[in-house]
Amino acid sequence: MTTGAGVSENAANIGVVGLAVMGSNLARNLASREGNTVAVYNRSRAKTDELVAEHPEAGFVPAFSYEEFAASLQKPRTAIIMVKAGGPTDAVIDSLLEVFEPGDIIVDGGNALFTDTIRREKAVRETGVNFVGMGVSGGEEGALLGPSLMPGGSDESWVTLGPILRSIAAVAEGEPCVTHVGHDGAGHFVKMVHNGIEYADMQLIAEAYDLIRRGTGKSPAEIAEVFAEWNRGELESYLIEITAEVLRQVDGETGKPLVDVILDQAGAKGTGAWTVQTALSLGVPVSGIAEATFARSLSSHPEQREISRDLPGPNEGFTADDADAFIEQVRLALYASKIVAYSQGFDEIRAGAAEYGWNIDLGKIAAIWRGGCIIRARFLNRITDAYVETPDLSVLLTAPFFVDVFTRAQDAWREVVATSAKVGIPAPAFSSSLAYYDGLRAERLPAALIQGQRDFFGAHTYKRIDKPGTFHTLWSADRSEIEAEDTH
Ligand SMILES: NC(=O)c1ccc[n+]([C@@H]2O[C@H](COP(=O)([O-])OP(=O)(O)OC[C@H]3O[C@@H](n4cnc5c(N)ncnc54)[C@H](OP(=O)(O)O)[C@@H]3O)[C@@H](O)[C@H]2O)c1
């Protein structure tokens, strides 16, 4: 093996391009698995030198040009790109296409927008090279120790990639957290929705914390214990676990709880917004994810918050009569709202699969999210069970296990939402989830009135409950009803 002066021909069975934190951790993970030899390349040489020097145990095959990189790989060549999403990904693909041959495989593990992946897959396929868009979840630690992997792409690529990806993925209950999600952009689509659900889950936890803090006067450290306790029960999940850690943390400089010195303006890298934008195009109501995304936006407008501070609100402060009972109500409200968020996310995946022609096994998606990723949670097993029992289940939250949860939780959920509205504590994800739940349950919705209004001002027509056909009322004439062409 050579290091830099020349190149070891065909020495590696897999390569990584882009050696920032994600790429270098994924390369180390690959190298640590039996049978893998990993070629590494980065646009600027320093990162390659540093990685190779710091991890001699990995036996990396460094390359300093795309030609060297291609020469160092066994055929069919397989390269995972971990660079900035967008233009940089296109630049790397173009460079690889100059040195790769038909049958080789390019995997984009960055956070690409799924429509970019569909476009890239189509363009790359024309060259005979396979292109796989792959969602990678779990952040830096996941990349190093075992991520949840959501590859799309062709069946042919999966034959080569499957064993490699299985070897590096997280393992949950004995199963690697990777599956061939579907063709072209399916993997990045599912990763996008994963991130949307993550936004909702985080917002719901934040609302639970806020209600408990303001309703019971408990300190962040005390609330950390509440979350630690919740993590031993049905809410057990990575996000609940790290919430306890964050709330327990004391600021070294001021001695205050860290959460009290962190600026209350939440950032976002855009995948929540993609999830919501896509859901709007598909006509799927992901209201919990949308509220979570908008809540981050609201928090990040300090000027608007400043001039709005004196708007009238309820006069009295809020103290729960029975702190323990209130905390239990909040726990149940959190669980119920969380089920709604996941149910909405799975709806979006099903709608995306129908729109783009992907055959996605929803139960398997829940299964590969049980390990390695940010939304890993005990109750994902119940989602897998629900889809195994009823593969064409059209509303996840109607599965018997979840109906049992709602039976237990709904009174508390309503109480918490009503209390938050009454005392003026914003709980947008709790309340919109409940409204969605009641919307689904409703025997009649006021959509009938909306259809009447649409017909009044735009002759958009309506259907009747008592006979087939499409109708229009002659609103500006004698208001009689006529049969009409469907102009929905
Ligand atoms: N961070 C996470 O938790 C996480 C989780 C899942 C997925 N991802 C995704 O994984 C990818 C990598 O993330 P990251 O945080 O490790 O790195 P990053 O900061 O997103 O990207 C830095 C890497 O991109 C390379 N790069 C930038 N422009 C380039 C260009 N025009 N041509 C070639 N290479 C270029 C850089 O090379 P130089 O060193 O030469 O500048 C460097 O290797 C991203 O798509 C990210 O969205 C990140």
> How many CB atoms within 10 Å of residue 238?
18
The whole-angstrom separation of Cα 234 and Cα 243 is 16
Choose one of 16, 28, 83 to mutate for the ligand 1 pocket test, by most ligand atoms within 8 angstroms of C-beta: 83
Per-residue pLDDT at 234: 96
- Does 76 sit behind a cis peptide bond, omega within 30 degrees of 0 on the bond before it? yes
Known catalytic residue: 443? no
Q: Whose CA is nearest to atom 31 of ligand 1?
A: 88
Choose one of 25, 43, 141 to mutate for the ligand 1 pocket test, by most ligand atoms within 8 angstroms of C-beta: 43
pTM: 0.95
The whole-angstrom separation of Cα 80 and Cα 213 is 45
Per-residue pLDDT at 194: 98
Ligand 1 atom, smallest distance to 47 CA: 39
Check if the beta carbon of residue 365 is closer than 8 Å to that of residue 181.
yes
Q: Which helix (H) or strand (E) holds 61?
A: strand 61-62
Known catalytic residue: 75? no
Per-residue pLDDT at 41: 98
Per-residue pLDDT at 488: 64
Q: Residue 118 has which token pair?
A: 């569909």
* Distance from residue 42's CA to the centre of ligand 1 (Å): 10
Per-residue pLDDT at 8: 76
Which amino acid type is present at position 48? T
Per-residue pLDDT at 3: 43
* Distance from residue 109's CA to the centre of ligand 1 (Å): 10
Ligand 1 atom, smallest distance to 44 CA: 40
Q: Whose CA is nearest to atom 1 of ligand 1?
A: 139
pLDDT (tens digit, 0 to 9) for every residue of the chain, 488 residues total? 444 445 678 899 999 999 999 999 999 999 999 999 999 999 999 999 999 999 999 999 999 999 999 999 999 999 999 999 999 999 999 999 999 999 999 999 999 999 999 999 999 999 999 999 999 999 999 999 999 999 999 999 999 999 999 999 999 999 999 999 999 999 999 999 999 999 999 999 999 999 999 999 999 999 999 999 999 999 999 999 999 999 999 999 999 999 999 999 999 999 999 999 999 999 999 999 999 999 999 999 999 999 999 999 997 789 999 999 999 999 999 999 999 999 999 999 999 999 999 999 999 999 999 999 999 999 999 999 999 999 999 999 999 999 999 999 999 999 999 999 999 999 999 999 999 999 999 999 999 999 999 999 999 999 999 999 999 999 999 999 999 988 66
* Distance from residue 313's CA to the centre of ligand 1 (Å): 45
- Among the listed residues 68, 121, 198, 348, the single catalytic one is 198
Check if the beta carbon of residue 380 is closer than 8 Å to that of residue 390.
no
Ligand 1 atom, smallest distance to 83 CA: 24
Choose one of 49, 81, 84 to mutate for the ligand 1 pocket test, by most ligand atoms within 8 angstroms of C-beta: 84
Pocket of ligand 1 (CB under 6 A): 18-23, 42-44, 47, 82-85, 88, 91-92, 110-111, 136, 139-140
Using alpha carbons only, give the angle 235, 283, 178 rounded to the nearest 5 degrees: 45
* Distance from residue 44's CA to the centre of ligand 1 (Å): 12
